[in-house]
Structures are given as C-alpha cells and as structure tokens.
Structure 1
Amino acid sequence: MNPEIQSTVALAWQDGYRFAVDFGQPGAAALLTDVEPPLGTGAGPDSEQLLVAAVANCLSSSLLFSLRKFRNEAVPMRTTADAALSRNAQGRLRVAGIEVAIRLGVAASTLRQLDRALAQFEDFCVVTQSVRAAIPVEVRVLDDSGALLTG
C-alpha cells in the first residue's frame, strides 16, 4: 500500500468484546466499541454501526462543504442511516445496503445554488464512494418541510 494520505486508528482490547478505539487526535477521547449480546454487552457501537456512522458522517460533512462553497453558512441538518443485514450463501451476516436520509433544517428556497451543491456533494465523500464499490448506498436529501430534494 502506497497511500497518498494515511489514516490510522489503534484499538486496545478491554475485556469481553470491548475495544477502546484511539483515533490519534490529541485531546480526543477514545471510543469504546462492543458487540451486541449474547457475545458482548452492547456497551458501545458495533462494527456495523461504525460503518453506517462513517458513511452518514461523510455524506453530511460533504453536503455541508458543498453548501458552504456556495455561501450557505449555517445550515442545520439531521442525518439518519439504516443498514440492511442479510446472510450470504455461506449463511454469514453481511451489510447488504445502506440508506441515508439527510434532512436540512431550512427551506430549500432559502439556499443559494442548492442544485449545484446537491449535484456534487456525494463525489466529495471519500467513505461513501469507497463503500459503494461493495455495498449499495442510497441517499436522500430533504428540506425542513420533508420535500425530497434528491434521491
């Protein structure tokens, strides 16, 4: 691997199936992960939740970046994401798809060049575009009234 930019995390086993995840950022607390019962205790997010959170976070940040490019500074948003799990031919669980809904906290009509921002924001999302190589990801963006803007 000869990366242009490298991202590193370190995991330290705690007990059971719990790990402390260190993102290597000074002053940032470690994230405690765990798996659901019966193997773990569910004391933290599991791997599937972390994957879905990474996709949702990257899409939200990318949309915010695109909106700010067109001088839309304070755009509140709330993002939800769901993963569909299914079994493969060997009976093992896999993430079969991810659905993300980003709801803007303002009316679409108040945003500058919204069409341009919506047309390009997914291309900026490193995580989603990488995950899409193996897992379908559906994205919807809605305004504060619930009107579908893309998806």
Structure 2
Amino acid sequence: MADGERFIRLEQLHDFRIAITWDETRPPIVGDEPPPLGTGEGPNPSQLLLAAVASCMTDSLFFALRKFALDASPLSTEARAEVGRNAEGRQRVLALDIRLALGRLPEDEAKLTRALAQFEQFCTVGQSVAQGIATRVTVRAPDGRVLHGAAE
C-alpha cells in the first residue's frame, strides 16, 4: 500500500444507521448499532475495527506467503473482540484475537517459517491498533496445529 492519505465519508441514514462510502463508484457499506440503540442492519463500529485488523492480517499473510512463492490458499480468518469496561467504567475494545488458517500447508517449511516470522509487521492497521489494544494473532495449519502465535 502506498503512503498517503485515506478518505471515507459517512452519512447518517436513520438513527444509528450510517452509510460508509469509500469509493464513489461503488455502493456504500451500511453500519449500524445492535438493538436497543440501532436495528443491527450492518456491522457496528467494533465489528468494523475487527474486520479492518483481520482483513489486514489476512492480506499481510497472503503477501508474505507470495513473497516466498508459497501457496497456502485459500486462507480463512476468524476474529473476536473482547469488549468491556475500562477503569473509568467506559465501554472499550479491550483485546482482539485474530485466528488465521492456511487452506493447504506449503512443502517448503523453511520459507513458511520465514513468512510467518514477518507477516504481522506488514499489517499497517494491525500494527497501529496493537499499540493501544492487546492483539493476539495465531496461524494454524489445515490440521489445526498452531504454526504461529500462542496456542489457547
């Protein structure tokens, strides 16, 4: 990704429902809060944050694998956010858990080890968010073995 400014526009549609435009040639994403505040017609801000970090980590893993000419596709990712109260009693995202899985295990174990050792550093969003929110990242083989990160 090139350096520079990024831009999105948000417009309130109704109550907590918003249209998120990132490209004028495409339809907007609709975000919403769950009931009782909103109607849950789209992802809420915590889910959008989680999606941003998980998507960036997935892209970064794909980039690192491709850099070493490794094919582990299709990659899949599940992500969870722990939401709770901070010391002041305000609701906050306290921790993120990003779980990536390889679709197939590349044969070159040495290259895979190198790719796994560096992919997190390629993730612009994940590394930025991790400065303020505890973020755990794991990568599993197709058989469920943990290849990167701490086992639960």
Fold match, TM over 0.5?
yes
Written as runs of structure 1 = structure 2, the 5 A alignment for 1:121-140 is 121-140=119-138
Separation in 2, partners of 1:52, 1:44? 14
Identify the residue that residue 52 of structure 2 maps to in structure 1: 54
Identify the residue that residue 4 of structure 2 maps to in structure 1: 5
SS at match of 2:128: helix
Taking only the aligned residue pairs, the percentage that are identical comes to 41
1:70-119 CA-to-partner distances (Å, cap 9, x unmatched) read: 11246211100000011012221100000010011112546671011001
The alpha-carbon deviation at position 122 of structure 1 amounts to: 0.4
SS at match of 2:63: helix
Alignment check: 8 A CA contact 2:71 2:106 kept:
no
SS at match of 1:60: helix
SS at match of 1:113: helix
Written as runs of structure 1 = structure 2, the 5 A alignment for 1:34-113 is 34-73=32-71, 75-109=73-107, 113=111
Identify the residue that residue 144 of structure 1 maps to in structure 2: 142
Give the ranges of 4+ consecutive aligned residues of structure 1 lying more than 3 Å apart after TM superposition: 108-112
What is the RMSD of the two structures over their aligned residues, measured on CA atoms?
A: 1.5
The alpha-carbon deviation at position 28 of structure 1 amounts to: 2.4
Separation in 2, partners of 1:6, 1:104? 32
Separation in 2, partners of 1:28, 1:121? 30
Alignment check: 8 A CA contact 1:122 1:128 kept:
yes
**Structure 2 gap ranges (5+):** none
Give the partner amino acid of 1:127: V
* TM-score between both structures, scaled by the size of structure 1: 0.92
SS at match of 2:127: helix
Give the partner amino acid of 2:125: V
Give the partner amino acid of 1:150: H
**Structure 1 gap ranges (5+):** none
SS at match of 1:90: coil
Change in Cα spacing, 1:106 to 1:74, as seen in structure 2 (3 Å) is: closer
Separation in 2, partners of 1:28, 1:136? 33
Separation in 2, partners of 1:18, 1:45? 10
